[in-house]
Amino acid sequence: MSKSPEKKVIPFGPYHPVLEEGELFELTVRGEVVEEIYWKTGYNHRSIETIAETKTYDQICFLVERICGICSHSHPYGFVRAVEDLAEVEIPERAVYIRTIVAELERLHSHLLWMGLAGHFIGYNTVFMWGWKYREPVLDILEEVTGNRQHYATLKIGGVRRDLEESKYEKILDMLDDVEEKCRMLLEAVPEDPVLKSRLQGVGVLTEQEARDWGTLGPTARGSGYDIDVRRDHPHAAYDWVDWDVCVEESGDVYAKTMVRLRENMESIKIIRQCIDQMVPGPIENEVREIPPGEGIGTYGAPRGETFHYVASDGTNSPIRHKVRAPSFNNVPSFEASCIGEEIADVLLTLAAVDPCYSCTERSLKLTPTSSDERLLTPRQLLEASRNKTKELIDQC
Amino acid sequence: MATDWYMYLLYFLIFPGFIFSLLVGLLAVWIDRKVTARIQWRVGPPLLQPVYDLVKLIGKEVLLPVGAQPLVFLFAPLVGLAGAVLAAFLLGSVNFLQSSFVGDLIVLVYLLFLPSLAIIIGGSASGNPISAIGSSREMKLILAYELPLALAVITVIINAGFTLNLNNIVAGPGAASVSGFLALLVTLICVQAKLAVVPFDIPEAETEIMEGPLVEYSGLPLAIFKTMEALLLYILPLYVITLFLGGLGEGWWMLLGVLKYVLLLVIIILIKNTNPRLRIDQAVNFFWTKVTALALIAAGLAALGEIYGVSWL
């Protein structure tokens, strides 16, 4: 901690009400203005990649679904795309539409969830509760389509697990009308609220150049005028069969990121409508018997940006390497550009504005000694040390 | 009015002093939580929830942080509570017993300052950087709202014919003039800041600095601070009623007084639930420009009305 009287180090985390997950931000502040930010993740490492290498391809779909509770369609989508790329599987058209419907419903619920949380972070708890209430019907539609509110278990290599019955189209469209009304209400209410605008505009600005330099993705990049969307740039799912727009805002502040998300809600509803309209009858999967040796990559436009999966196979029933990169991995470091010079109150809002997902980002942590006299233990040595200590204690008794 | 010393003690401790105001305060906290919950499509807590919370807190262990100044840290809540109880007693005796003395308005204004002061002292004494930030924010907020609040009091004094006696002020015109009404508006905004609720809950902002000055408090001292906050929820609307809305009234008129109180409380809760939290610089800016200007206009109009003998000013 700094000894200078004007400078203080304020720790946020590992446990803090504004951060739902364990991570640490140390803000060096002068008064209330942040001069430096140091951040550290690694509190929630779950060995997903290593576990994936011990499971069969079908089981991994369920495993990667649990990387993130909110993007629980994005990670399996990235994974099945990687495996389908590796095995060169064609997906039936109907399955592609069902996948897209679930994907866009997920985007809707994720953006509404973020909207509520953002309200909570600026002390506007009414928005928090309302946003989450408006999210409920989206979850109901998801339950109607996939059978689950979360962790939809709808994807499998070669297609989807569950068909969408035609008798449900009407009901889903009706429920979508309800959601659209709420989303439009939010989209119109935010620009009209002067207090909300005074709190969001000009806060945590990330310029387009910074957005490019830090390699940001998704709404974080699009809010800074960086026109990038993997759904359009590397078409997958049904995105090149339907008509939709990429939402870009220029100003780069929290307000722009909010507006990008609110506008994307409307686009999602548009995409789901078109998918249901254009849906063709047919099979929902092509059975995949063998995964040949080789490598495959899968990208997918998750609500927070591009999700990337890499799978390497040796021809057996489980991969020899599975690499996951969540969008927050790219977005979180941009705090170093957007948070400096902001006030504490705004920094937390800026942190929240990229919709970070820390535990999805964490893969592994490799420690290297900073000086020669520092000692690092391997897991085996640690185990040995702990056994010796126990033995010592028993001997003392 | 009784003159025996033990009667005074009863007045102070039971009615209209500590016990009575605490009960009303806890009821106000419940109303606050219930109305907030209904606005947010939630069910809300049962009637006795504020009492349960308080009892639970009193039963908890008191932790002293390592870097704290123990004496100041533990006495700060008592100072705040003493200020709040005395203010409640003073306002209660004016409204329920019609007893008052010359200059009690000045005493009241000073007593209402004590709770905020206690929070600053307690936060600074806890030795936690987050508390320090909360305390400095509370200080800035006080600097922001005290000037317009004092100007509003001056307006009231002028309108009531240069009296410092609360009984005379209750009988005075209150908000029934242009300057009085403006002063009422100013006071309502300042009350929002004095209660430290949204949009001015900046010192305690729980999603930024986790209750700020209170972050190190636990057990009984925290319970005392929570009691103080419950009392403030009773005192400040009553303060507005006494200065501007003709007091709580006597006999059956008291029902109207209760209605006024509930109405003010609900206004406070509604403002709280339809605004985001401001930043401290935005809040100071708001108070020093718009609100102070409004308060100056009110005081000026009141003075003009007094000089030229125009009663509606």
For chain A, give the mean pLDDT: 84
Give the tens place of pLDDT for each residue, B192-229.
998 888 888 888 877 777 788 888 888 899 999 999 99
| Tokens of residue B73, six digits | 């840290």
Residues of chain B with C-beta less than 8 angstroms from the C-beta of A344: 133, 208-209
Segment B65-84, tens digit of pLDDT:
888 888 898 899 999 999 99
Q: Using the beta-carbon criterion (under 8 Å), do A124 and B42 form an inter-chain contact? A: no
> Which stretches of chain A are DSSP H helices?
48-52, 57-65, 74-87, 93-121, 125-146, 169-192, 194-200, 208-213, 218-222, 230-233, 254-278, 328-331, 335-338, 344-353, 358-361, 379-396
> Which burial class, exposed, middle or buried, applies to A156 when counting CB atoms under 10 A from its CB (0-12, 13-18, 19+)?
buried
Using N-to-C axis directions, what is the helix angle for A93-121 and A344-353, rounded to 10°?
Answer: 170
Residue type, A125: N
* Cβ-defined contact of A17 to B207 (cutoff 8 Å): yes
Residue of A nearest to B275 (CA): A124
ipTM value > 0.90: no
pLDDT in tens, A262-286: 999 999 999 998 988 888 888 888 8
Query: What per-residue confidence (pLDDT) applies to A24?
Result: 83
**Secondary structure (DSSP) of A235-263:** --TTTTTS-------SS-SHHHHHHHHHH
pLDDT tens track for A112-168:
998 888 888 888 888 888 888 888 889 988 888 888 888 888 888 888 888 888 888
Residue A3, pLDDT > 70, answer no
Domains of chain A, CATH where assigned: 48-326 (1.10.645.10)
Query: Is A346–B279 a contact, with Cβ atoms under 8 angstroms apart?
Result: yes
Q: Cα separation of A129 and A135, whole Å?
A: 10
Alpha-carbon torsion, ordered B150, B151, B157, B159, to 10 deg: -150
Q: Which residue carries 């003159």 as its tokens? A: B3
pLDDT band per the 50, 70, 90 thresholds, residue B27:
very high
Measured between beta carbons, which residues in chain B are less than 8 angstroms from residue A16? 210
In what helix (H) or strand (E) does residue B291 lie, and over which residues does it extend? none
> pTM, whole model, 2 decimals?
0.82
d(CA B135, CA B141): 10
Q: Is B25 exposed, middle or buried (0-12, 13-18, 19+ CB in 10 A)?
A: buried
CA angle at A289 for the pair A285 and A291, rounded to the nearest 5°: 105
A374 pLDDT band, cuts 50/70/90, is: low
Q: Give chain A positions within 8 Å (CB) of B129.
A: 8-10
pLDDT (tens digit, 9 = 90+) per residue, B119-136? 999 988 888 888 888 888
CB-based contact A345 B205, cutoff 8 Å: yes
3-state DSSP assignment of residue A293: coil
**With 90 as the cut, is the pLDDT of residue A38 above it?**
no
Give residue A5's pLDDT.
54
CB-closest option in A123, A129, A130 to B276: A123
Average pLDDT over residues B299-311: 83
Q: Mean of the pLDDT values across residues B287-310?
A: 88
Tokens of A59: 């089981």
End-to-end CA distance of chain B: 37
Report whether pLDDT(A379) > 80. Answer: no
Interchain contact, B207 vs A344, CB within 8 Å: no
pLDDT of residue A2: 42
Residue pair B215/B131 in contact (Cβ under 8 Å)? The answer is: yes
The separation between the first and the last C-alpha atoms of chain A, rounded to the nearest angstrom, is: 40
User: For position B232, what pLDDT does the model report?
Assistant: 92
